[in-house]
Amino acid sequence: MAIVSSRKLKSLNELSSKHIQVIEEFEKLLEQGISGLTMADIAAKLKVSLRTLYEIAPSKEHLITATMNRVLTNIGQEASASIHGIQSPLSKLKMYIEIGYEAVGPRIKKFSTDLSKVRGVAEMLDYHRDYFIGRIEELLNEAIKHKEIKDTDTHVVAIALGAVPLLLSDYFYHRTSYQRELEHTPETSAHLVADLILDSLARK
């Protein structure tokens, strides 16, 4: 199992437009599965030089991680942009969660086979999860100040709202005995749980 160090990964700001384009094409390839492919094989399928791939990441595992990082960063940026102009903190929170939960959608699931083989990738995933939870907590605190929801332990509620989609995703995709018991996808089920939590906190 390969080990990825985040110190060896280039930030998105360090990548050229050409590199970003390669990552976008690699993302499509990753959705199809790349088990058994070498860096040379990947370069050939993407019609780029092997040198270009190594400019982006020093190994196949790092390339997978860099691509996943970009996907999650884009989801986060889309979620943040979506709440601009919304006055109600509770409405902001619902919109932010709606887009943020795409991180457990079917598109992300396609990466799971290759991503699960990369040891150390948890560090990157934890960063995105913690940021998501932190932003949820901020919006919950705003909603309390605006008297839209009851006073509560926002840290605990934020953890619950941020963790439930990952928990449901784990049961749905990796524990086959539970697949028949879930009526909806993890993304849809997570929204159901989030609505129940937020509705219980809303001031009537």
The two structure tokens encoding residue 179: 């697949």
Q: Which of 5-9, 75-79, 161-165 has the lowest mean pLDDT?
A: 5-9
DSSP state letter for 59: S
Q: Is the per-residue pLDDT at 165 higher than 90? A: no
Residues in Cβ contact with 83 at an 8 Å cutoff, skipping those fewer than 6 apart = 92, 95, 96
Q: What is the pLDDT of residue 113?
A: 57
Note the pLDDT of residue 155: 96
71-201 topology per CATH = Tetracycline Repressor; domain 2 (1.10.357)
Position 13: which residue type? N
Residue 5: predicted pLDDT: 42
How far apart CA 130 and CA 137 sit, in angstroms, is 11
β-bridge partners, 2 = 118
Q: Structure pTM?
A: 0.76
How many angstroms separate the CA atoms of 111 and 5, rounded? 19
List, as own/partner pairs, every contact residues 67-70 make where C-beta atoms lie below 8 angstroms and the sequence separation is at least 24, other chains included: 67/23, 67/26, 67/27, 67/30, 68/111, 68/115, 68/121, 68/124, 68/125, 69/9, 69/12, 69/124, 69/128, 70/12, 70/20, 70/23, 70/27
Q: Which residue has the higher pLDDT, 39 or 60?
A: 39
Q: Domains of the chain: which residue ranges?
A: 71-201
Per-residue pLDDT, 123: 78
Residue 85 has pLDDT above 50, yes or no: yes
Q: What is the pLDDT of residue 4?
A: 40
